[in-house]
Amino acid sequence: MKSKRMKVFVALVLVCSLVTSVFLMACAKEEVLPTITSINPNQGQPGETLDVTITGTNFTGATSVSFGAGVLVNSFTVDISTQITADITIAADATTGARDILVTTAEGTGILASGFGVGEAPPAKPEGTLRVALDSIGAAMNFLPWVQGSTQIAYVLGMIGDLLIYVDHETLEPIPGLAESWEISQDNYSVTFHLREGVQFHDGWGEMTSADVKFTFDKCIESPVYAVPVTLRGLVDRTETPGPYEFTVYCKEPFAQLVVSSLATLHGFWMTICCKAYIDSVGEQEAGLHPIGTGPYKLVEATLGDKIVLEAVDEHWRVVPEFKWAIFTEVPEEMTRVAMIKRGEVDIAPVSTTSADTLEGQGWDIVECPPEAYDEIFWMYGQYPSDLPTYDPDLPFLKKKVREAMNLAINRQEIADTIFHGHAVPVGLPDSTTFSDEYEPYPYNPDQARELLEEAGYANGFEFELWNAQYMGQAPEMSELVLALAGYWEAIGLTPNVYTYSLTQKYYDMMQRKVVGVVWGESRIASYEPWYSRIQTYYSSSAVIISYYNPEIDTLLAQIQTLPTLEERYVLVRECYDIMYDEYATIPICSADRLWVVSDNVGEWVSIPHSMSLLNFEYITHSPPLGTFRLPF
């Protein structure tokens, strides 16, 4: 019995010993601290979110993982006791340098000193090709800004070159371009631009200096065909270069501030700064065909009517493009452009509103760039000063009630919805201005229109010519728009006779003030400034083509010319537009979008109004974006 008890006792001792041993062993194991042996990847960039694999031991039950300051651990998973996967985000403003990695368990914290590095953002590396099919790549392949034809390729000029200053279209304030700052003298007779240092011309043609700016500026001012130089040319007396990075413009009158405004408006008249040394070396003709600029792209090849090929530079002060190559191909036929998009031969193509609707229905992305790009306007010709031989006192358009009736007869919203398929908004002014929204579009009221005609003595209406004016750049919807207007006017008893003309056939007669009793319209690219110049061009006695005449506007324009600042001029410009609006001087219809169909390769494409031509192809990103894109300005 005693031996039996002894055996049980021994067995119990052994079992207890075993259990204790196991327990002690287990306890001893859990007490071991976690260790970190490696991290993959061991480096990240500011702004980056990535999954990191941490390898080591004793991770079971890990409660926290840390990557140091500026790195947020969004989540982590203990895959096995030797591996943790962590999802981290490195703050965009995280300081660069090494970070300690910490893994904490109930038993303590394992550390890997300097295990992870927050590196510098890598230099932008554009890649891939952006293929754009345009209805016209330009009527001329000359890339010197002072040569006629350059304005046709402003979208390319804005890519291969930079302007001295740009304009913020929200505030209309000039903003720095190649000139980082500028000083206007106290007497307002001169302005000195301080140039950005270190800006290089393409292909090793050296650094841009004030000599290049003076050369370009002087050439543009002297050129007879340079786009819209009248304002600027009239102001400038001479230019000088006080230093390699200083360029001064002296004025004939105290209008230096206006020089700055003029350079900033209308996109600096496309005055991209050219390389003097290069042009001196190869001559203007060669330089026009193979330009050297400072822009984010450089020209590789340009063939009139065929294609333009551009290559992105890897570093640029304004924008590093995401696409290494940009190829613009001329495809005049819209159906062909659509087919090319569908087959993946191009990434971007302009389309009409009708095609845009169809393509959108098929799942294609339609981009408005820039929105409300075109002003669709009509004029009533023959409103001339009474001393002109072609002045006809019996012309119906001379009566305000007739003009009002013709405006009230039009349902602008219907036009925007049907002809422009919703890609247009009715407007009250003939020109897009920053204050256009303050002028309500004229209401649609055909009954009142008929009454007005009766009051004006035209109860039975009258006949007039309605021109469907055709020229390059006219909106594809223009013919349809003309017919719609004819319908509206017929509905109030008028008799418009529609004729189709090439506009160039009629230019001469229009300039000679011989066109009387005619209504014709235009799709005009919305401009931002200088509006007083536009008023003078179309609505004054000295206009090249008088579209409306009112002596009050003449008086205001004369006053505007004496004002040295843009701000002062705006006040009177608004008065001019008030007169035109109240007098129903023109027939503004709507502002229409410029529409593009884009492929899946295209990511962000926003209209950046600071850029030339407003198309800013250099700012388009990949889809998904590569992340090399930097915002301009």
Residues in touch with other proteins (CB under 8 A): 133, 136, 139-142, 147-149, 152, 224-225, 228, 230, 285, 288-289, 303-307, 329-333, 335-336, 339-340, 342-343, 345, 471-472, 504-505, 507-508, 510-511, 533, 537, 544-545
Residue that is written with structure tokens 């052994």 in the block:
14
Which tokens hold the place of 107?
């038993």
Q: Name the minimum Å distance from CB 465 to other proteins.
A: 19
Q: Name the minimum Å distance from CB 536 to other proteins.
A: 9
Residue whose CB is less far from other proteins, 50 or 544: 544
Q: Name the minimum Å distance from CB 148 to other proteins.
A: 5
Q: Name the minimum Å distance from CB 530 to other proteins.
A: 11
Cα–Cα distance measured from residue 243 to residue 196, given in angstroms and rounded to the nearest whole number: 13
Measured in residues, the chain has a length of 633
How many Cβ atoms sit within 10 Å of the Cβ of residue 603?
Answer: 15
The H or E element containing residue 378 is strand 374-381
Q: Name the minimum Å distance from CB 474 to other proteins.
A: 11
Residue whose CB is less far from other proteins, 67 or 381: 381
Residue whose CB is less far from other proteins, 277 or 545: 545
Cα–Cα distance measured from residue 293 to residue 277, given in angstroms and rounded to the nearest whole number: 12
Residue whose CB is less far from other proteins, 457 or 473: 473
Q: Name the minimum Å distance from CB 339 to other proteins.
A: 5
Output phi, psi for 574, to 5 deg.
-65, -35
Residue whose CB is less far from other proteins, 61 or 305: 305
Residue whose CB is less far from other proteins, 28 or 335: 335
Residue whose CB is less far from other proteins, 304 or 579: 304
Residue whose CB is less far from other proteins, 37 or 504: 504
Cα–Cα distance measured from residue 128 to residue 599, given in angstroms and rounded to the nearest whole number: 14
Q: Name the minimum Å distance from CB 554 to other proteins.
A: 17
Q: Name the minimum Å distance from CB 514 to other proteins.
A: 14
DSSP states along 534-587: HHHHHSSTT-SS-S---HHHHHHHHHHTT--SHHHHHHHHHHHHHHHHHTT-SE
Residue whose CB is less far from other proteins, 58 or 142: 142
Report H helices in 419-502: 446-455, 478-491
Q: Name the minimum Å distance from CB 331 to other proteins.
A: 4
The number of helices, as runs of H, and strands, as runs of E, in the chain is 17, 27
How many Cβ atoms sit within 10 Å of the Cβ of residue 67?
Answer: 24
Q: Is the dihedral of CA 427, 428, 433, 435 positive or negative?
A: negative
Q: Name the minimum Å distance from CB 51 to other proteins.
A: 38
Cα–Cα distance measured from residue 419 to residue 439, given in angstroms and rounded to the nearest whole number: 23
Residue whose CB is less far from other proteins, 452 or 546: 546
DSSP states along 390-408: T--TT-GGGSHHHHHHHHH
Q: Name the minimum Å distance from CB 614 to other proteins.
A: 19
Residue whose CB is less far from other proteins, 147 or 377: 147
Residues in Cβ contact with 162 at an 8 Å cutoff, skipping those fewer than 6 apart: 177, 178, 199, 272, 273, 293, 294, 295, 317, 318
Cα–Cα distance measured from residue 262 to residue 265, given in angstroms and rounded to the nearest whole number: 5
b/e map of 540-573 (b: 16 or more CB within 10 Å)?
bbebebbbbbbeebbebbeebeebbebeebbebb
Q: Is the dihedral of CA 200, 205, 210, 214 positive or negative?
A: negative
For residues 485, 490, 493, 496, the Cα torsion angle rounded to the nearest 10 degrees is 80
